Amino acid sequence: MAEAAPGAAPGQVVAVKRILIAGGGTGGHLYPGLAVAEALKDQKPETEIMFVGTRRGIETRVVPGAGYPLKLMSVRGLPRSPSWGWVSFWFSLLKGLVEAWNLVRSWKPAVIVGTGGYASVPTAWVGLVMRIPVVLLEQNRIPGLASRAIAPWAECVCLNYEDSSDRFIRKGNLRTTGNPVRRQVAEGPRRSDESGFVKVLVFGGSRGAHQVNELLAGALAQLPASLPVEFLVQTGTDDREWVEERLRESGFGGSVQSYIDEMGEAYADADLVVCRAGATTLAEITARGLPSILVPYPHATAGHQEANAGVLVKHGAAEMLNPKRATAGDLADVIRRLVEDRRERERMAARAKAMGRTGAAAEVAEIVHSLAEGTVRKA
């Protein structure tokens, strides 16, 4: 398709490329796609971008708010254990393949970017069948089954961790770029604060995490009342009211929200983070250079969150609680120690910052644009 692009000189015709970004469900799979979309537009403003997601995912709210069109499909996740849910999964996958086929055939993207999540699988498969270049983003240190199944035929697989390459059969299309992070999250100075309080940001991912909320609620009751600390907590919808009540009872200052829309501002205020160990979360806190206490999701496939967290712990950028044995007392002990030890927080922050890869989104965007222009066919 050739047309006058925004910013083009009068009479100049520019070939506008369409990029389809498929994935979502959670922020961990959606936000890297938004970061890439932002970088694609920065590099070539005329690029047309569309997202593909599911009706139950966070993308239904976030993507339209970011100004991108969104197409929804019916596919859902495969149950972890044998059940009648397997039957509905295969029907939804078949329906998703048909929906993806119709969308790709009608919209004609130059490249398909799969970011993970249910919608990425049928869309990527259709792209491969139609001989459209597919770029995969693999955020986790231990790649998921879907990524490994599609990867041999993808033009490029962008890895967050270099040692993830050991788990792929084909090596020639792998590229270690880091995990793309949105500009509003990665950039911006630390907000100055003369209150003397240490600001602790607590969250369990885009949907919240009941285990993290319970650990924090118990820890609040065990922290010394004299500790100079304030909390900003994201709980998810179900736990907000009772966590807010526990914070009020504790006497510590702060606020509790179901969802934090402006994570960049939350990071800018934070001195310490308590969170899960999803790959996108870790990419964000290292980009910002924040010390962290990690509580990996204990039921993550193949223990990939513990593997993710282990990298930060190894580099001295974070402390990790065992997700299957952690107690509120454990969390209280680590929070107290780090709040009282500013030098240790600063050392951890410097190590986290050294691990951050703020150029990942731009690097992935360059790969996508190169494929769209036909100048690069392999990583």
Using the predicted structure, report yes or no on whether residue 190 has a pLDDT greater than 80: no
Q: Is the pLDDT of residue 102 over 80?
A: yes
Q: Which CATH entry fits the domain spanning 2-181+358-373: 3.40.190.100, 3.40.50.2000, 3.30.9.60, 3.40.50.970?
A: 3.40.50.2000
More confident residue, 148 or 205: 148
Helix (H, G, I), strand (E, B) or coil at 262: coil
- What does the block give as tokens for 373? 């222009």
Angle between helical axes of 27-43 and 59-66 (0-180°, round to 10)? 20
Please compute the mean of the pLDDT values over residues 14-22 and round it to a whole number.
Answer: 86
Average pLDDT, the chain: 89
Q: What is the pLDDT of residue 261?
A: 85
Residue 185 has pLDDT above 90, yes or no: no
Is the confidence at residue 75, as pLDDT, over 80? Answer: no
Written in H, E and C, the secondary structure of 310-335 is HHHHHCCCEEECCCCCCCHHHHHHHH
Higher per-residue pLDDT: 90 or 260: 260
Whether the per-residue pLDDT at 12 is higher than 50: the answer is no
- Percentage of the chain exceeding pLDDT 90: 70
Mean pLDDT across the stretch 116-133? 92
From CA 373, how far away is CA 182, in angstroms rounded?
A: 24
C-beta separation of 343 from 316 below 8 A = no
The reported pLDDT for the residue numbered 377 is 45
Lowest mean pLDDT among 82-91, 117-126, 188-197, 365-374: 82-91
Q: What's the confidence (pLDDT) of residue 375?
A: 64
pLDDT given at position 25: 85
Q: What is residue 22's predicted lDDT score, i.e. its pLDDT?
A: 95
How confident is the model at residue 56, as a pLDDT? 83
Q: Which two tokens stand for residue 49?
A: 């971008």
Q: Among 63-77, 120-134, 226-240, 349-363, whose mean pLDDT is lowest?
A: 63-77
Q: How far apart are CA 240 and CA 204, in angstroms?
A: 12
Mean pLDDT of 335-356: 97
Q: Looking at residues 312-333, what average pLDDT do you find?
A: 96
CA angle 78, 79, 82 (to 5 degrees): 120
> How many Å apart are CA 183 and CA 192, to the nearest integer?
20
Could you give the C-alpha distances from 64 to 51, 61, 337, in angstroms and in order?
10, 6, 42
pLDDT, one tens digit per residue, over 152-166 is 999 999 999 999 999
Tell me: pLDDT of 355 over 60: yes
What tokens appear for 253 in the block? 């200052």
Q: How many Cα atoms within 13 Å fall on the side-chain side of residue 322?
A: 5
Give me the half-sphere count of Cα atoms (radius 13 Å) on the Cβ side of residue 271.
23
- In terms of Cβ atoms closer than 10 Å to its own Cβ (0-12, 13-18, 19+), residue 140 is buried
The larger pLDDT score, comparing residue 8 to residue 188, is at: 188
Are the folds of 2-181+358-373 and 187-355 the same?
yes
Residues contacting 104, CB < 8 A, separation 6+: 20, 112, 123, 126, 127, 130, 132
Per CATH, which fold does 187-355 belong to?
A: Rossmann fold (3.40.50)
Asked if pLDDT for residue 379 goes beyond 60, the answer is: no
Q: Is the pLDDT score of 206 beyond 80?
A: no
Is the pLDDT assigned to residue 79 strictly greater than 90? no
Model pLDDT, residue 13: 45
Q: Which residue has the higher pLDDT, 205 or 13?
A: 205
CA separation for the pair 157, 134 (Å, rounded): 9
What pLDDT, on the 0 to 100 scale, is given for residue 184?
85
Residue 73 in tokens: 């499909």
Least confident of 24-33, 124-133, 313-322: 24-33
Where helices occur in the chain by DSSP H, the ranges are 27-43, 59-66, 85-107, 120-129, 145-150, 183-186, 210-222, 240-250, 263-269, 279-288, 304-314, 328-340, 342-355, 360-373
Q: Phi and psi (nearest 5°) for 230?
A: -130, 155
The predicted structure's pLDDT at residue 6: 52
Tokens 């972890």 map to which residue?
A: 80
207 pLDDT tier (thresholds 50, 70, 90): confident
What are the residue ranges spanned by the domains of the chain?
A: 2-181+358-373, 187-355
Question: Could you tell me the two tokens for 12?
Answer: 């100049």
Average confidence (pLDDT) over 349-354: 96
Token readout for 237 is 């919808």
**Which span out of 18-32, 84-98, 191-205, 331-345 was modeled with the highest average pLDDT?**
331-345
pLDDT of the residue at 7: 52
Residue 303 has what pLDDT? 87
User: Quick check: 4 pLDDT over 50?
Assistant: no
